[in-house]
Amino acid sequence: MYQLPEEHEELRAAVRALAEKEIAPHAAEVDEQERYPSEAAAALTAAGFNAIHIPEAYSGQGADAVAACIVIEEVARVDASASLIPAVNKLGTQPILLSASEELKKLVLPSIATGEASASYALSEREAGSDTASMRTRAQLDGDHWVLNGTKCWITNAGESSWYTVMAVTDPNAEKKARGISAFVVHKDDPGFSVGPKEKKLGIKGSPTREIYFENCTIPENRIIGEPGTGLKTALATLDHTRPTIGAQALGIAQGALDAAVEYVKDRKQFGQSISQFQGVQFMLADMAMKIEAARHMVYASAAATERGDKRASFLASAAKTYASDVAMEVTTDAVQLFGGAGYTRDFPVERMMRDAKITQIYEGTNQIQRMVMARHLLKG
Calpha distance 351→22 (Å, rounded): 21
Alpha-carbon 342 to chain mean position: 29
- The distance in angstroms from the start CA to the end CA of the chain is 30
Is the Cα torsion angle 247, 135, 159, 91 positive or negative in sign? positive
Calpha distance 205→81 (Å, rounded): 7
pLDDT of residue 155: 98
Calpha distance 157→164 (Å, rounded): 10
pLDDT of 81 strictly over 90: yes
Q: What is the dihedral of CA 367, 369, 374, 377, to 10 degrees?
A: -170
Please report, as a single letter, which amino acid is at residue 99: S
For 161-187, the pLDDT digits (tens) are 999 999 999 999 999 999 999 999 999
Which phi and psi angles does 92 have, rounded to 5°?
-70, -30
Residue 309 and residue 240 in contact, taking contact as beta carbons nearer than 8 Å: no
For 321-343, the pLDDT digits (tens) are 999 999 999 999 999 999 999 99
Calpha distance 250→256 (Å, rounded): 10
* SS3 (DSSP) at 154: strand
Calpha distance 196→151 (Å, rounded): 10
Q: Which of 74, 53, 50 is nearest to 64 (CA)?
A: 53
Residue 223 and residue 104 in contact, taking contact as beta carbons nearer than 8 Å: yes
Is the Cα torsion angle 10, 353, 358, 42 positive or negative in sign? negative
Residue 373 and residue 315 in contact, taking contact as beta carbons nearer than 8 Å: yes
Averaged pLDDT, 333-359: 98
Averaged pLDDT, 295-306: 98
Which phi and psi angles does 229 have, rounded to 5°?
90, -5
Is the Cα torsion angle 365, 371, 372, 376 positive or negative in sign? positive
pLDDT of residue 2: 85
Q: Please identify which of the residues 74, 211, 351, 364 carries the catalytic annotation.
A: 364
Q: DSSP letters along 63-105, please?
A: --HHHHHHHHHHHHTT-HHHHHHHHHHHHHHHHHHHH--HHHH
| 277 Cβ neighbours under 8 A, 6+ residues apart | none
Query: CA angle 28-20-112, nearest 5°?
Result: 90
pLDDT of residue 381: 83
For 262-295, the pLDDT digits (tens) are 999 999 999 999 999 999 999 999 999 999 999 9
Calpha distance 134→127 (Å, rounded): 7
Mean of the per-residue pLDDT values of the chain = 98
Q: What percent of the chain has pLDDT over 70?
A: 100
Other CB atoms within 10 Å distance of the CB of residue 5: 12
351: annotated active-site residue: no
Q: What percent of the chain has pLDDT over 90?
A: 99
Calpha distance 195→197 (Å, rounded): 7
Calpha distance 243→299 (Å, rounded): 9
pLDDT of residue 214: 98
Calpha distance 198→182 (Å, rounded): 27
Residue 220 and residue 187 in contact, taking contact as beta carbons nearer than 8 Å: no
pLDDT of residue 334: 98
For 129-151, the pLDDT digits (tens) are 999 999 999 999 999 999 999 99
| 229 Cβ neighbours under 8 A, 6+ residues apart | 170, 171, 174, 179, 180, 181, 182
Averaged pLDDT, 61-87: 98
pLDDT of 1 strictly over 80: no
